[in-house]
Structure 1
């Protein structure tokens, strides 16, 4: 109409009774009654940038458009009527998820910077997109007029597949700068929840401020972490005893956005879960930077408690003592030098030298005379042994005389034996003399 001017369009519609008077529509219909496809209805808390005729995309392909919207009579949500062209309407199931694909969506959070858009048309007049979850849980084909919720983003649409929510409480002692509501909660890099609330409370017992952070997790994402959904503290108590803790980590160094990391820390101090009504508190550990800061602060406190002045004074005294000891050593060295250079030491050394020369001369004489003296003694010893051998021969005169003397001793012994026997029998013979024997 910008070029041709205003005109009246007509949609004949299905066959009915003849009529001559009509009421014109303020907003023309987007699709005519003879267009193949199906009508559906979406509910959303806001309209966003949607307009009549805003496109609807499926896997990047325009498959439908927005027909209209109005306030719901039942609640404050909006009812948005959409039309999906055939044959793409066969891709709509009762488990299909719809979300806004309007304009240019730029998100800067702990995950980084993300820019999402469907097309140039959706940037100008807004648009929607839909998709199906895992084909394994895909439901039945949707019917004409079925109602679907409209989500803000594809992430929200996918997350809503998990209907079971569990809430926990984390209390941090240090700054949570960079942590915002909606920040992800991850277990070893796997997202399974997000932050829903951040508050501030006074810890009167330790005279410090604590920052409680409430998180919402979807235990269906990690069924092995929390096995008992009805009483999750039963499984958490064992996990916490094995080092399960929550920690703040930086997800984006450009924006400074942080997220909550749930993991096992082997070196963490012992702790246990605390119940706050129906809310379970999971123990936390400080970030690596906070630990480093605490360690540096403790080190500085220890350094400040060291008595540097006393150590300095003791060091000066030690240096002074070393100087005095050095002077004493130098004096002792001077005394030794005087002794070494004295005339008495020279005389003693001269006398010792003469004595050594005399001993050396005597040793030389002994070396000369000793062989000849030993030779003479040996000859004399050999001659003496020869004479002894001649004297002890069996036919020598000495041996003959010794044998004769031994015979005389034997006869004398026999005479003495007979005399002793006679005296034993005739003791009176000593007085009367030897008489006639009977």
Structure 2
């Protein structure tokens, strides 16, 4: 009988030891260390959040979830989900080796909590702590005996809220109208494109023929222009040669004529000296001198014009 009681007592004691070990191991509780408890009150869904879920501060593990409850406000029939957190002070150190200030002081400095999805495959969630003084501290006094850490919306929640505020139906209608317009335009293009391609091909062929004709015409004009320019150069050279030769002959003729006029004038002057002032011969001589002077002046003028414009010998004066 005594042996049986001893065995039963040992079995019970072993069960208690195993239970304590399981609580310490899986509940992350150290009976020889001080823990800090806090509460986070959720008003949305706690899907994916379970007891034992990690609590991190900017990715650093600082505790775990120890309890999840559901509380109703009978006056407003509003559901609240208090989530109790167990924080390990040994995970947090101070630069001046002093004791870390309490949860309430951290909250006043901007400590906030949010629910983040750890894995999209499993859907498991965790509590993430961070400082965000810009988020208002919304507290729920009376829901828990532990200090409360205000909640802010997570990135997923903010994204979901933004998507819910989008006019999705209107956007879908606009997209459908746009797709219908594109379809109508595509059908129209399918009908008109062959005709446009044929017209473009015909225009291209006509343009090519026009370009070929213009090219041949330009080549012909270039050949004719080259021939004309060559002939004009030849004529100009010949005219220049003739003008140069005739200019030299004319110059000699003018010199001879001028010499003859001078000699004649000298001779008439000598005759005048031997003729009486009132005789008929004197009158004839005076007339002859005047004619010779006029002829000399005309010859000098003509010689000057020829020297300035030799082409007068070929073309004459233009009317």
Band of TM-score, shorter chain: 0.3 to 0.5
More helix by share: 2
The TM-score with structure 2 as length reference comes to 0.47
Bigger RCO (CA 8 Å, 6+ sep):
2
